Amino acid sequence: MALLEVTNLKVHFHTRNGVVKAVDGVSFNVEAGQTLGIVGESGSGKSVCCYSLLGLVPQPPGRIEAGTALFDGEDLLRCSRRRLRQLRGNEIAVIFQDPMTCLNPYLTIGEQLIEPLLYHRKTPRKEARQQAVALLDEVGIRQPERRFDSYPHELSGGMRQRVMIAMALIAEPRLIICDEPTTALDVTIQAQILKLIKDLQHKRQVAVIFISHDLAVVSEVADHVLVMQNGRVVEQGEVAELFSNPSEAYTRKLIASIPDGAKSAAPERRELQPHPLVSVSHLRTWFRDHSIGLFSPAAAKAQRHIKALDDVSLRIERHEILGVVGESGSGKSTLGRAILGLAPVTDGRIIYDGRDITNLSARAMKPLRRRMQMIFQDPYASLNPRMTIFETLAEPLLVHGLANRRTVAAQVLALMDDVGLVRTCIRKYPHEFSGGQRQRIAIGRAIATRPEFIVADEPVSALDVTIQAQILDLILDLVARHDLTMMFISHDLGVVRYIADRVLVLHRGQVVEEGDTGKVWAAPQAEYTRELLQAIPRLAHVQP
């Protein structure tokens, strides 16, 4: 008998706008010591499915309509609240996605860590502390004795996720539900965390449900995979079988959407010109570190600046896409912003089209603004929610005098065609669009002024994998059609490889490697680049 047997689970949300069938007849089994991967795009019901097993779906509006979930023979959906509480954190633990918001900021991590022991096992505090410190050590937190008394905000994202993992493991549960445990993390840290979960699983023989939108990650950790779409199971099977020989069209589409392989048509299109469009030399952007006060030790004072960018030099040729990769805090966003004059420059020079634009005043910058644009990561936050798509797209045209009242409508429609938006949407507001469509609007706004140069800062990171592929192709298409030059910033190496002609690897504000994308991938020179490339999860079972 399997440890967990879920049969015909139905969870519906009763909202003002009708019933949303978040989970609609899902069945699966999880064996002890095995990992079940659940993949699907956002809104596919994968998280709701698992939360409802533990009674963590807010009711109302949620309601479990039907089904059974036998955990070791006991139906989780029908047992009392009291019994469910005994199981939570004790027999079944959860690792949530965002370690930034899932730890209580008001309590030390130690306090939060020992809670399952205090309330389920009635362990004495002192003993619980010893166990917790040992476990912190096991999940790879240095100086666990000291960290025990730290608050969450004093730890980095990766460290917090380790704490979350330790918290899930501390009561030695038999089933762990991991909900996108590495999505918020950098690729090298992701690799460490995945290895950690796997090691611990083998050591303790626990069953794991691993929820992720990232097929490559799932293919690395799971034994068995469930593909979900719109609350239903599309396909399930052994991981090797499912990824190498998917029987359903949706699964094939998901797999095909993973950016894979290098950009092909690049070299012949790029004719070298004497002057690059953008040339940056010895750029430094230092921010003052405000945590260093009057009474800090002298050693700390000597480095009172955070060196976001430290001696960065680069050239961007006309009509090329330069990929900039690096982990969070590597300075990649600051670099993009500094080139556009949106971040301060401490030292160094930025030449744009033969003109020195370093620390140019806002007024002097204005005529250049039309020629350089930016696309942001979060298309929802960067679009004004009170402006229709017509207003959003018309604004840059009118501000820069590229259209008048009579021609603007036709130009906006042409732009919408360009970025693949249906013309009838012209009067809609941002919230009426999906994430991918919103990013199309944001791209449309960026190319409205016919710029030469675009900085795209993680433009596809917030999108599902199938949508991501469409947007990447749209960007490639637009770059070719409008002769754009682009700086494409991303933490996702697969995406950069797919889209960029050349790549620049940033690490702690410094360039560690630069070169043609293909060459860097084939033979990385710097140690750090090799680490990054090795850390990428791959669809191990699929032939390239």
Partner 1 sequence: MFKFTLSRLLQAVPVLLVVITVTFFLVRMAPGGPFSDEKAVPPEVLRALEAQYRLDLPLIQQYFSYLGDLARGDFGPSFRYPGRSVNELIEAGLPASAELGLYALLIAIVIGVLAGLIAAMRPNTAQDYIPMSTAMIGICLPSFLLGPLLVLVFGIWLEWLPVSGWGNIPGDKILPSITMGSTYAAYIARLSRGGMLEVLSQDYIRTARAKGLPERVVIVRHALRGGLIPVVAYLGPAFAGLLSGSFVVETIFQIPGLGRFFVQAAFNRDYTMIMGSVVFFALLIVVFNLISDLIAVWIDPRLRNPSRGGR
48 vs 242, which CB is nearer to partner 1? 48
Please tell me whether residue 325 adopts helix, strand or coil conformation: strand
* Least Å from the CB of residue 167 to partner 1: 7
* Least Å from the CB of residue 170 to partner 1: 9
- Helices first, then strands: H and E counts in the chain: 22, 20
94 vs 447, which CB is nearer to partner 1? 94
* Least Å from the CB of residue 502 to partner 1: 35
* Least Å from the CB of residue 87 to partner 1: 7
17 vs 264, which CB is nearer to partner 1? 17
User: Which of 234, 489, 535 minimizes the C-alpha distance to 338?
Assistant: 489
* Least Å from the CB of residue 347 to partner 1: 23
**Residue that the structure tokens 């239903």 belong to:** 232
* Least Å from the CB of residue 198 to partner 1: 22
111 vs 353, which CB is nearer to partner 1? 111
Strand-strand pairing, 175-179 and 4-15: unpaired
* Least Å from the CB of residue 227 to partner 1: 25
Ramachandran angles phi, psi of 478, nearest 5°? -65, -40
Q: Both tokens of residue 125? A: 């505090």
**Residue that the structure tokens 């469930």 belong to:** 226
* Least Å from the CB of residue 81 to partner 1: 9
168 vs 489, which CB is nearer to partner 1? 168
* Least Å from the CB of residue 123 to partner 1: 14
102 vs 308, which CB is nearer to partner 1? 102
**Number of residues that make up the chain:** 544
User: Which of 74, 96, 99 minimizes the C-alpha distance to 87?
Assistant: 74
* Least Å from the CB of residue 109 to partner 1: 11
* Least Å from the CB of residue 171 to partner 1: 8
Q: Both tokens of residue 351? A: 């030449």
132 vs 167, which CB is nearer to partner 1? 167
285 vs 392, which CB is nearer to partner 1? 285
CA angle, residues 71, 77, 79, in degrees to nearest 5? 80
95 vs 340, which CB is nearer to partner 1? 95
CA distance 490 to 499: 11
CB atoms within 10 A of CB 328: 14
CB atoms within 10 A of CB 142: 9
Q: Kindly list the residues in this chain that would bind partner 1 in the complex (CB under 8 A).
A: 54, 56, 85-90, 93-94, 96, 98, 100-108, 112, 115-116, 119-120, 151-154, 164, 167, 289-291, 293-295
Q: List, in sequence order, the alpha helices (H) in 349-500.
A: 362-369, 389-399, 408-418, 435-447, 465-482, 493-499
86 vs 525, which CB is nearer to partner 1? 86
Residue 285 bridge partners (DSSP): 309
Angle at which helix 389-399 crosses helix 435-447, to 10 degrees, equals: 20
* Least Å from the CB of residue 398 to partner 1: 37
Name, in order, each residue with C-beta under 8 angstroms of 58's C-beta and a sequence gap of 6 or more: none
CA distance 311 to 303: 16
CB atoms within 10 A of CB 117: 22
Ramachandran angles phi, psi of 25, nearest 5°? 80, 55
**Residue type at 150?**
S
- Cis ω for the linkage preceding 61 (within 30 of 0): yes
177 vs 191, which CB is nearer to partner 1? 177
Name, in order, each residue with C-beta under 8 angstroms of 188's C-beta and a sequence gap of 6 or more: 327, 531, 532, 535
Residue 88 DSSP one-character state: B
102 vs 469, which CB is nearer to partner 1? 102
